[in-house]
A and B are shown apart, each in its own frame.
Chain A
């Protein structure tokens, strides 16, 4: 069985056999290098840099253990970190059932995530009410900031993007013009510029005494930026639908918003799920740019820990970056897989 399969698929001709052998060799070279570095030569225990100074040592895992708390919470005070944990627990507790199809009460979990959850998160993280100590957003950092920026951007960009895409196709000249200008402006500006503007320029235009939190400014910037991209992705879906769908809806007497909500958008959005998720993943990774305006996201915090002399070893950088890459990869991979499942599930249209 196995031998037959291999003969048919891997060694069917001289050329194929050669390619198979070269590929196996490449996998071996790269794979063994990684395994050697991450496991065989790696240091697993130790209290400070001394442990990882062994000549020829691989990954310095005790450094990750020592700094893990910072990776996740940034400089969020230890005694208040339970608030973040509570948010994580609530978020995961509502997200998982809301992603499972056919789950009872699924709608309520989604509703909870969209409406009360952001408010609860805001109250818990900032504090200053209900007897919670106030914690300035300057102290937030690590994975918490990465998730806040990414999730806000993702949740805000889809509805905004849909409205912009519809506006761009509107028959009303003024609305159309506003949407075109908005989209082309935000798409034409690099995200770094947007973040700089939000952190440096915007305060100059605000009246004296008005202070908007830096993180909030950054969130708004990211949301508007990604909504412009989302708008163009959605427009692609709208244009891919045959005109007959709109006409069919109109002829039945459905209003514009009804036909959009019930007929056009469900089909258009399904068509562009890959593009939407692409934008989400790009956005998730772009959150690392907030570093340049002095917010410490996951990557920023990891880089910050490099400056700790107590853990300065030849392998600290490598280890830190690998951890950052791995965490980002897990989130992006999860989004990608979930979107593929959703595509399959929503594909009800028969052949076509």
Chain B
């Protein structure tokens, strides 16, 4: 068996005195798709933000693609090159065109020639169905389009793992679908994905495992059928009752 893409062992995180993550253990295999849900403040976003070191954990071990995340800047850089992230608020760079947003990291981090980077960017922009917007600026696009650009931008780095931090929470309902469709396609292509989302339809459709988090702990972890139809914990039941 190959080594897991992500290995988290007894990981703890504090904001000052506040104990945000309380002993997380999680292995994610290559090609596995995981959906994380839970009430706000449960630590689910913090958890995936620890995986590319946007947040620093205090105790325990995190290994991503065989690289241990610690204070070593070289390791952090290496992990960030291999891990793509999509944010709730897109975080596109408003002063750059869509195409420039997508080619920036391949050119400056991967040292790709500009022409190749642009070709690859157009390929991914086509995959998320907005090649015709390539020369516009993010402010000229709708929220759904911006989020699809953000996905394309992350994919241009050819990541081995994609993190999604509530990618549809800031979108109007009619735009959620277009983003989810792109994510489903990505999942079908075999990308390893960790998604924090409340889109339970998406979870049912693509997830290999669904995780429910509450108060900094993983409360329940199961394949979607089991998770939705036969949750074991009372807290999970209560949560599902609220959102379904």
A348 engages B105 (CB within 8 Å): no
Q: How far is the CA of A254 from the CA of B104 in the complex (A)?
A: 9
Chain A: CB-nearest residue to B163: A251
Asked whether any CB of chain B lies closer than 8 Å to the CB of A258, the reply is yes
Contact present for A352 and B94 (CB under 8 Å):
yes
Q: Is the CB of A348 within 8 A of B95?
A: yes
CB B153 to nearest CB in A, in angstroms, measures 7
Docked CA distance A252–B157 (Å): 8
Interface centre among A253, A254, A266 (most CB of B within 10 A): A253
Max count, chain B CB within 10 A of own CB: residue among A254, A266, A348: A348
Interface string of A235-258 (1 = CB under 8 A from B): 000000010110111111111001
Cα of A4 to Cα of B91 in the assembled complex, Å: 50
Chain A 340-352 per-residue mask, 1 if CB under 8 angstroms from chain B, else 0: 0000001011111
- Interface range, A side: 20 to 34
Q: Mark A101-128, 1 if CB is under 8 A from B, else 0.
A: 0000000000000000000000000000
Minimum C-beta distance from B69 to chain A (A): 13
- CB distance B139 to A267 under 8 Å? no
Q: Are A252 and B153 in contact (CB under 8 A)?
A: yes
**With an 8 A cutoff between CB atoms, is B92 at the interface?**
yes
| Nearest chain A CB to B166 CB, angstrom units | 13
Q: Closest approach, in angstroms, between the C-beta of A52 and any C-beta of chain B?
A: 57
Q: How big is chain B's contact interface, by range?
A: 20 to 34
* A270 is an interface residue with CB less than 8 A from chain B: yes
| B87 pairs with A252, CB closer than 8 A | no
B104:A253 contact, CB within 8 angstroms: no
A–B pairs, 19, beta carbons within 8 Å:
A242-B89, A244-B91, A245-B91, A247-B54, A248-B92, A248-B93, A250-B52, A250-B80, A251-B85, A252-B104, A252-B105, A253-B77, A253-B109, A262-B108, A348-B94, A348-B139, A350-B94, A350-B138, A352-B94
A residues whose Cβ falls under 8 Å from a Cβ of B: 242, 244-245, 247-255, 258, 262-263, 266-267, 270, 346, 348-352
Interface residues of B (CB under 8 A from A): 52, 54, 77, 80-81, 83-85, 87, 89-95, 104-105, 108-109, 137-140, 153-154, 157
> 9 tightest A-B contacts by CB?
A350-B139, A248-B91, A252-B105, A244-B91, A251-B85, A253-B80, A349-B94, A253-B81, A253-B109
